[in-house]
Amino acid sequence: MARRIAVSGGGLAGLAAAYRLTRLDPALEVLLLEGSDRLGGAIRTTMRDGFLLEHGPDSFLTVKPAALDLCREIGLGVELLPTREGVRRSFILHRGRLHPVPEGFYLLAPGRLLPFLGSGLVSWPGKLRAAIEPFLPVRRGAEDESLGSFVQRRLGREMLDNVAA
């Protein structure tokens, strides 16, 4: 009798888990459970006013090649779009306008103050809230924390809603 396992969620993590399980044991019967009518979770691509818009995660770090290797392994390598040297900019659609991600942003946090202060993505109170992040105490406890909870706790709700979401 074949072993069976269920994977809950057809987003990126669920799809990757289901794929890896089938590679580890081809005899394993994997059932993927997804509540919506499409796979991919928050990931989708649309065109608007001549711009290619990526919803959800729009990129991954290629310096750690695991994601790139997985894309190639499943046949998506030819679908990857590299950024052009000299024009590597990302934009966030906020209130009907495309806002450039301020220079110096790295992993959801502003690394350079002036570009962040000039951005229209976050209000002045939101910018002040994010600016106090280095002075906040370290979280105690070993329980897991979602990325959303972490961003809201460290940088504020507005950064979560307008930049990280």
How far apart (Å, rounded) are the C-alpha atoms in residues 15 and 9? 8
Contact 159, 151 (CB under 8 A): yes
pLDDT band per the 50, 70, 90 thresholds, residue 4: very high
pLDDT band per the 50, 70, 90 thresholds, residue 163: confident
DSSP codes, 69-120: HHHHHTT-GGG--PPPTT----EEEETTEEEEPPTTEETTEES-HHHHHT-S
What single-letter DSSP state applies at residue 128?
H
Which is more confidently placed, 128 or 164?
A: 128
Least confident span in 7-11, 55-59, 128-132, 154-158: 55-59
Mean pLDDT of 59-88: 78
Which is more confidently placed, 67 or 59?
A: 67
Domains and CATH numbers, the chain: 1-42 (no CATH), 89-165 (1.10.3110)
Residue 106 scores a pLDDT above 70: no
